[in-house]
Amino acid sequence: MSHPGDGGRSLKVLHVDDDPMNLRVVQEILGAFGHQAVMACSGKDALERLAVEAFDIMLLDIHMPGMTGIEVIEQLRASSGPERTTPVIALTADVYSRRPAEYVALGFNDFVSKPILVSGLMATIKRCVGHAATTPQALKTA
């Protein structure tokens, strides 16, 4: 739980990745900070979840089979529902094919390179959401 005055709150995060190991690692990271991770293993699954459930932010892998992260963000931003404004962070191991500004131009709020560093991920989430908790849960309750 967040302590009053620390500015943090628990976030509901949709994490989309076709790699089960990446899903598990990010779930552990988010859980350590008191956030709820909801996992989707494809772009289609992510769009279906977003249509019926509200999320504070989405972490979206760029390179996935079937529907890429770029196709997901295009469909999401073109939709008419409230989910279209959900902040989205691109996750990619391919840091050389696009500059950060290109991800923003595509509709992403920001990006994080893989392998994911905890400090970088949490700082990016905080920037995109504006008031994310950035202290691990264990430290808050100590």
Q: Under CATH, which number does the domain 15-130 receive?
A: 3.40.50.2300
Domain boundaries, the chain: 15-130
8 A C-beta contact, residue 110 and residue 135: no
φ and ψ at 92, to 5 degrees? Answer: -155, 145
Pick the closest to residue 136 from 112, 111, 113, 119 (CA basis): 119
Angle at 45 between CA 126 and CA 50, to 5 degrees: 50
Confidence band, pLDDT 50/70/90 cuts, at residue 1: very low
| Tens-digit pLDDT profile for residues 93-132 | 887 777 888 999 999 999 999 999 999 999 999 999 984 3
Q: Rounded to two decimals, what is the model's pTM?
A: 0.86
| Tens-digit pLDDT profile for residues 11-50 | 999 999 999 999 999 999 999 999 999 999 999 999 999 9
As a residue count, the chain comes to 142
Confidence band, pLDDT 50/70/90 cuts, at residue 85: very high
